[in-house]
Amino acid sequence: MRESKNYLQDLNPAQREAVETLYGPLLVIAGAGSGKTKTLVCRMAHLVEKGIPPEKILLLTFTRRAAKEMIERASLLLKRDFHKVTGGTFHSLCHTMLRQYGTLIGYSPNFTLLDRTDAEDLFNLLKTSLGLSDNKKRFPKKDTLANLYSKTLNQEKSLEELLDSEYPQFLEFLPEIQRLFVEYKIYKKEHQLMDYDDLLLNWLEILKNYPQIRDEMGKRFHFIMVDEYQDTNTLQGEIIKYMASTHQNVMVVGDDSQSIYRFRGANYRNIFDFPKIFPQTKIIKLEQNYRSTQPILDLANVIIANSKIKYTKTLFTLKKEGAKPVLFRAKDEAETSKFVVDKILELREKGIKLSQIAVLFRSAYHSYELEVELAKRGIPFVKYGGLKLLESAHIKDLLAFLKIILNPRDFLSWNRVLLLMEGIGPRTAEKIIQTLKREALPTSLNRILGLSPSHELKRWLELYTTIKPYEEESPSEILQKIWYFYEPLFQRIYSEDYHRRVKDLEGLFSLVLKYKSLDEFVSDLLLEPLEITELEGETLDEDPLILSTIHSAKGLEWHTVFILSLIEGRFPSLYSLKNTDDLEEERRLFYVAVTRAREKLFLLSPLMVYLPGEGKTFAKPSRFLTELPKTLYEEVNYTTPEEKSSHIKPVTENYMNTHYSTELSSTSSFKIGDFVKHPHFGEGEVLEVMGEKIKVNFISKGPTILHLKYTQLERLL
């Protein structure tokens, strides 16, 4: 950005209006690539320039990293210190507030935060203690129970409603599940534990029930800005209502067309309800796109125009020229992979870095075939949207040790730690925990050692009593001590692949050096878990190609984007076909994928896919493709680099004859199971051959009988 006196001149009229509207409720509908971050940064700077103290500003974003970057940019803009601006996620804000005000509802400042896996483990523990796992009939698993519990809070539905609509097979267990949920709440309160939902729920409870805290928040944060408002859930929307109630100086920025986290509890209707909660709301739309060429935006506009509920907007750009998006219908995923890799190599030869190219997909498994081809050709890549760092068992182990040090009454972590040790099973672990509940360490040391002869337990208890987390030891020193104890256990438990797992630990040791407080380090890991690839990516020699689920790609952009598996049942996903709201979210997901591309966009839709147990199966093109006017994209075929013709050439009437060695229609040409193409009906599968007639199941038309003498069919395989 330029020097401060010019920053307003850098804005387009809609952005400038949003920046200069300082008081009252403001809703900014920010289309993809429309400079919403720049708008937020400039508005923060403008507030301070107009005399608002930085400590009076609260900035809530989707990640704490994003908040930190925005605050730094605003600071550079005015060449002033902005470190007193409070920035972070809803969960990090609530976590901080509850450490300060949690005593009002019975929590001490050093409560332990449970991540999702911890919550699932606690459900399992309680399920066993209540005898619910002994049912002859199948009782819900721990992940299903955690899902149900979270949804009852975030979606404001009763347990019975949720079971009826999503898990009817468990309706018979309604009383047992209700009892389990009650026990879950009691256990957390007794043991000073909070899960992710509790952070929101408990802070909201304080805001609702303590008017003096609302007043205090209004004075403390006189200006509130919220990014990615379309991804907030019902509880977060309520928190904003109460925190802004005394002054209503709240600006929320979002794009209803990019709401893609319903599965996490996000309520995209929040963005439509905001003007109802704050009736004086001013609405500003940012429609000028600074990322993509107009041909890409034309495609995106048509995709989202079919959305049933939306704030109508049309993206436009000054970059009018550019290549049309490309649609390639390969015969199968193997050919798709060869096409994608050849195009990537071609782009690299033209000077486009691999890191400026992304291959996006709906689900992580859609890229497996491509990953094999990339490895074969020696192309480095990283994959996002896979395993989170905290989903790894060995990281969970280390974290359990650290949690015990911070909160000795975290008996869930005690249980995990004890079961790692040789000679200690569930019964002994339970006896040790009961002893710890009655009498804490070090007083109970001898009694605990008397319950088990485990040498590892003795070593751990001796170490535990020497660690002082709130005194002179740094988080790095504490982690090193824990590692020294844990390493032999780690090598024994994960003997098959501990060399691979140790890479994650190296990343963790690098990360902890940035922290002065162990509590802050553990809280950060739990509040915003890293993906394993975020630690691995730094070790590659060359900037890698990006493979990513679309959910993990949100907010990012690349020169060239490939979108895989645009077929029914994959994109849109199979489960979404049964529910209108889910299908609408799939459409928004496609819109997000398309708008990640700056210059080039490739849409891949194979004719056949491999399904386990079924072999190769005919694939129907995604409905999102069939809705698109053919004038908006170029459909191409593919030839190998060894062939003299160009890599890509437009589809012609004779394409199938030249590429797939097809034959003229005759009674001897076809057999049941062949995949064929008709000049008018398109692709289909042969169901029956009846002399001079043939029955074909066409994607566009369904089963059709044709006379071979009067039709021309081209065999694809």
The pLDDT-based confidence of 264 (bands split at 50, 70, 90) is: confident
What are the tokens at 583?
A: 């299908």
CB 676 within 8 A of CB 657: no
Among 139, 159, 191, which residue terminates a domain?
Answer: 191
In a domain, 180, yes or no: yes
118 and 187 together in one domain? yes
74 and 205 together in one domain? yes
* Catalytic residue list: 36-37, 227-228, 258, 596
The pLDDT-based confidence of 222 (bands split at 50, 70, 90) is: very high
Sign of CA dihedral 467, 471, 473, 475: positive
At residue 25, the pLDDT reads 96
Q: 3-state class of 682 per DSSP?
A: strand
What are the tokens at 601?
A: 């966009």
553 and 600 together in one domain? yes
Among 191, 212, 228, which residue terminates a domain?
Answer: 191
Phi/psi for 627 (5° steps) reads -75, -15
Sign of CA dihedral 78, 83, 88, 90: negative
208 and 338 together in one domain? no
Query: Exposed, middle or buried: residue 176 (CB in 10 Å: 0-12, 13-18, 19+)?
Result: middle
User: Cα dist. 508→96, 115, 476, 521 in Å?
Assistant: 23, 17, 10, 10
525-561 b/e with 16+ CB inside 10 Å = b?
bbbebbbbbebbbeeeeeebbbbbbbbbbbbebbebb
The pLDDT-based confidence of 654 (bands split at 50, 70, 90) is: very low
Evaluate if residue 505 carries a pLDDT over 80: no
In a domain, 82, yes or no: yes
Q: Which residues contact residue 669 at a Cβ distance below 8 angstroms, ignoring those fewer than 6 apart? A: 663, 708, 713, 715
- Residues 633-661: what's their mean pLDDT? 48
Evaluate if residue 2 carries a pLDDT over 60: no
In a domain, 521, yes or no: yes
Q: Which amino acid is at 133?
A: S
382 and 398 together in one domain? no
In a domain, 18, yes or no: yes
- Residues 90 and 523: their CA atoms lie apart, in Å, by 14
36 is in an annotated binding site: yes
In a domain, 478, yes or no: yes
63 and 136 together in one domain? no
Please, where are the H alpha helices in 261-392? Answer: 270-277, 294-305, 333-349, 368-377
423 is in an annotated binding site: no
pTM: 0.75
Best CA proximity match to 667, nearest among 688, 636, 644: 688
At residue 252, the pLDDT reads 96
Angle (CA) 710-715-717 rounded to 5° is 165
Q: In terms of pLDDT, which residue wins out, 369 or 597?
A: 597
CB 379 within 8 A of CB 85: no
At residue 662, the pLDDT reads 36
37 is in an annotated binding site: yes
Please spell the DSSP secondary structure of 55-112, one letter per residue: GGEEEE-SSHHHHHHHHHHHHHHHTS--TTSEEE-HHHHHHHHHHHHGGGGT--TTPE
- Of 93-102, 409-418, 606-615, the one with minimum mean pLDDT is 606-615
The pLDDT-based confidence of 299 (bands split at 50, 70, 90) is: very high
In a domain, 518, yes or no: yes
Best CA proximity match to 362, nearest among 156, 168, 516, 576: 576
Cα 337 vs. chain centroid, distance in angstroms?
25
401 and 499 together in one domain? yes
440: domain CATH number is: 1.10.486.10
Mean per-residue pLDDT over the chain, rounded: 85
At residue 644, the pLDDT reads 39
Evaluate if residue 705 carries a pLDDT over 70: yes
CB 687 within 8 A of CB 695: yes
146 is in an annotated binding site: no
At residue 390, the pLDDT reads 66
CB 265 within 8 A of CB 201: no
Angle (CA) 566-571-574 rounded to 5° is 135
Q: Most confidently modeled of 10-19, 474-483, 486-495?
A: 10-19
At residue 312, the pLDDT reads 78
Q: What beta strand segments (E) does 564-614 contain? A: 597-604, 608-611
394 and 475 together in one domain? yes
At residue 611, the pLDDT reads 58
- Residues 525 and 95: their CA atoms lie apart, in Å, by 13
CB 140 within 8 A of CB 148: yes
88 and 210 together in one domain? yes
Among 157, 191, 225, which residue terminates a domain?
Answer: 191
Q: Containing domain of residue 141, as a range?
A: 112-191
- Segment 33-78, tens digit of pLDDT: 999 999 999 999 999 999 999 999 999 998 888 899 999 999 998 8
**Residues facing 649 on adjacent strands:** 637
Cα atoms in the Cβ-side hemisphere of radius 13 Å centred on 266: 21
- Of 288-302, 327-341, 571-585, 690-704, the one with minimum mean pLDDT is 690-704
- Segment 332-355, tens digit of pLDDT: 888 999 999 999 999 999 999 999
The pLDDT-based confidence of 675 (bands split at 50, 70, 90) is: confident
- Segment 75-118, tens digit of pLDDT: 998 888 898 999 999 999 999 999 999 999 999 888 889 988 88
404 and 509 together in one domain? yes
- Of 27-41, 100-114, 460-474, 648-662, the one with minimum mean pLDDT is 648-662
Cα 565 vs. chain centroid, distance in angstroms?
19
Domain count of the fold of the chain:
5
**Rg of the chain, C-alpha, whole Å:** 29
Evaluate if residue 535 carries a pLDDT over 60: no
In a domain, 658, yes or no: no
Percent of the chain with pLDDT over 70: 88
Evaluate if residue 410 carries a pLDDT over 80: yes
**Is the peptide bond preceding residue 426 cis, with omega within 30 degrees of 0?**
no
341: domain CATH number is: 3.40.50.300
- Residues 236 and 230: their CA atoms lie apart, in Å, by 11
Evaluate if residue 680 carries a pLDDT over 70: yes
282 and 355 together in one domain? no
Region class of 555: left (phi > 0), else alpha (psi between -120 and 50), else beta: left
Best CA proximity match to 340, nearest among 626, 638, 598, 550: 638
The pLDDT-based confidence of 660 (bands split at 50, 70, 90) is: very low
In a domain, 645, yes or no: no
3-state secondary structure 580-593: HHHHHHHHHHHHHH
CB 467 within 8 A of CB 481: yes
- Residues 685 and 697: their CA atoms lie apart, in Å, by 5
690 and 577 together in one domain? no
Best CA proximity match to 227, nearest among 271, 182, 281: 271
